[in-house]
Amino acid sequence: METFKRLKLYFWPYKRYFCISILSLFIVTAVTVIYPLILKYTIDEVFTRRQYALVPYLAIGFVLLMGIKGVAVYYHQYFGDLFGVSTVYELRNELYRKLQYLPFRYYDNAKTGDLMSRLAGDVEVFRFFLSFGSAQFLNFLLLTGFGFAIMLYLHPSLAVVTLCAMPFVGFTAYRFDKRVHVAFKHIREAFASLTTKVQENISGMNTVKALSRENFEINRFTDKNLNYKENHISTALIWGTFFPLMELFGNLCVVALLVFGGWLVIHDQMKLGELVAFFSLVWFIIGPLMQLGFILNSYSQSKAAGERLLQVLDEEDDRRHVPAASSHEEELPIKGHVQFIDVGLAYNEANEHALQSISFQAPPGKIIGLIGATGSGKTSVTQLISRFYEPTAGTILIDGKSSESYSPQHLRRNMGVVFQESFLFSCSIYDNIAYGRPDASREEVIQAAAYAQAHDFIRELPDGYDTLLGERGLGLSGGQKQRIAIARAFLVKPSILILDDATSAVDMETEYRIQQSLREVMVGRTTFIIAHRISSLKHADEILVMELGRVIERGTHEQLIALPAGAYRRIYDVQFQDRDQEAQQAEGSRI
């Protein structure tokens, strides 16, 4: 029950719904166990003694009991379902809220399909047990308790003989729960793996088709599906082993009742009506016992699902790193003075350091360029500024204070970040641009799009800024998506602007126009530009050339180009040599 105790926070506020449901179930059970007593009275008093005048009264009483039971069943089912639905509403909201605040480090290893499985499938499994499984278990306890109590009242010795096999049923049920819980946990994990495979395949369908790997993907999915199937078969084997045993022990109770109870009636030590009542009461006990497997099945599934939900809820998120700052301090704008002092970063213990001894200073309004080969650590520097990751060594100062003294949300509200892979939501272009500032006026949105050189192509679309985009911006080219992402960053008017290869997908002419607009936008803002094209960095106040997580050269474009054997000069020669050769070829073709 430890899993349910830890999830108590989400269902305890709705305990009144649960109490109403259980009270109604108590009434339903009480009325149910009265039926055998009415049957006993009918046989022993009405038919045996021929008191037929009592039949109308018994019929009216029976109808009244049926009415009471019907109302109680309604309240039991309605409030039981309300209890489960209300609980998972809060639980699903908290899970989604948790996902929003989990750090980048968590998503480095998390799989989208697995998270979707937890947020949808596991939550529903947990809800089903709260709404129905727990009620079935309590119904089992109540029927067994009431039934056994009445049986003891009618004939103690027959009750003991009849229920002598019950301990064996309980032990079998206990063993069943131990085995089936592990099996259902494996089923949930296999389903999550299957969902992840489907999600990855759909997201990467262009790559699959471009490389004609359809059969390969089908085989990979078949393996995942086979694993899911085999886990279900293993669970079915457990079920097939234990359920017949529970049914056998239950039927032994009926055999004991018929043998010993029949002997008592034959020797006039028990009335026939009492035996019939006993027979009905035994089935009120055996019936729920037959369903005990289903109850334990639901319980085991919900426990396995709850454990997977707790794995997400127990993760450390950004909210645990919020400093004890006053609301006044949180409202103060950030000027944008960034300083790195011997900063190092390792993404995990198994990896080498992504950054080592990085030191630089970026006063407000300055432009810092970062260039280097793939994997040199350029993006890691900007991710530390945004607190997407925390440094493993050294200190990062923002406006003279440690970056850890700011809450991640306050820090990021003063930043504009354009990632190399631009993500757009499935909504209108206008809403995508205004995502960071939903209160911005339409004129401000259009101005931001104009700065990003996106206004012209947006205006040519059938619905302009109200054009709805497909998933991940489907319908736009890579360059168009990048320009919308740049406009989104411009609109928030950040103190610190980070452009991570933000113009890699646009043509040279558009890139030049964006750079001209950037010069106006970047005035007074600290800007970090990651680029592979030197043309994007020439105007930077300082350029950091990176290699294997270290800064190997720094200076302005003119200073770095003057180093004949420098890394920056080699990059420059490669890029501009190719351009000169193209120009010479074009000139030769004209001649």
The CATH number assigned to the domain with range 418-493 reads 3.40.50.300
Calpha distance 75→245 (Å, rounded): 35
* Secondary structure of 276-335 as H, E, C letters: HHHHHHHHHHHHHHHCHHHHHHHHHHHHHHHHHHHHHHCCCCHHHHCCCCCHHHHHCCCC
Strand-strand pairing, 338-345 and 355-362: antiparallel
In 3D space, the residue among 54, 37, 57 whose CA is nearest the CA of residue 46 turns out to be 54
List helix spans (H) across 497-591: 508-521, 557-561, 567-590
Q: Which residues of 455-464 are buried (b: 16+ CB within 10 A; e: fewer)?
A: bebbeeeeee
Residue 352: per-residue pLDDT: 67
- Type of residue at 265: V
Determine phi and psi for 68, rounding to 5 degrees: -60, -45
Q: Name the one residue in this structure whose structure tokens are 């990176």.
A: 546
Calpha distance 135→305 (Å, rounded): 18
Residue 589 pLDDT level (bands cut at 50, 70, 90): very low
Residue 362: per-residue pLDDT: 92
The CATH number assigned to the domain with range 329-414+497-556 reads 3.40.50.300
**pLDDT tens per residue, range 422-458:** 788 888 899 989 988 889 899 999 999 988 888 988 9
Answer for the pair 31, 25: CB distance below 8 angstroms, yes or no: no
The more confident residue out of 433 and 586 is 433
Calpha distance 375→383 (Å, rounded): 14
**What are the structural domain ranges in the chain?**
2-314, 329-414+497-556, 418-493
pTM for the predicted model, two decimal places: 0.73
User: Which residues, 6 or more positions from 586, have their beta carbon under 8 angstroms from its beta carbon?
Assistant: none
Calpha distance 111→197 (Å, rounded): 9
What average pLDDT is seen over the chain? 82
Judged by DSSP in three states, 406 sits in coil
Q: Is the pLDDT of residue 581 over 60?
A: no
Name, of 117-126, 286-295, 339-348, the range with top average pLDDT. Answer: 339-348
Query: What stretch of H or E contains 26?
Result: helix 15-41
Query: What stretch of H or E contains 367?
Result: strand 367-372
Calpha distance 524→494 (Å, rounded): 10
* Residues above pLDDT 90, as percent of the chain: 14
Residue 586: per-residue pLDDT: 46
Q: 2-314 with 418-493: one CATH topology? A: no
Residue 543: per-residue pLDDT: 93
**pLDDT tens per residue, range 107-147:** 877 777 778 878 888 888 888 888 888 888 888 888 888 88
- Compute how many other C-beta atoms are within 10 angstroms of the C-beta atom of residue 112: 13
CATH superfamily of 2-314: ABC transporter type 1, transmembrane domain (1.20.1560.10)
Q: Is the dihedral of CA 153, 155, 158, 160 positive or negative?
A: positive
Calpha distance 246→292 (Å, rounded): 9
Residue 375: per-residue pLDDT: 84
What mean pLDDT comes out for the span 571-588? Answer: 62
User: Which residues, 6 or more positions from 172, have their beta carbon under 8 angstroms from its beta carbon?
Assistant: 242, 245, 246, 249
Calpha distance 513→508 (Å, rounded): 9
- Type of residue at 189: E
- Type of residue at 484: I
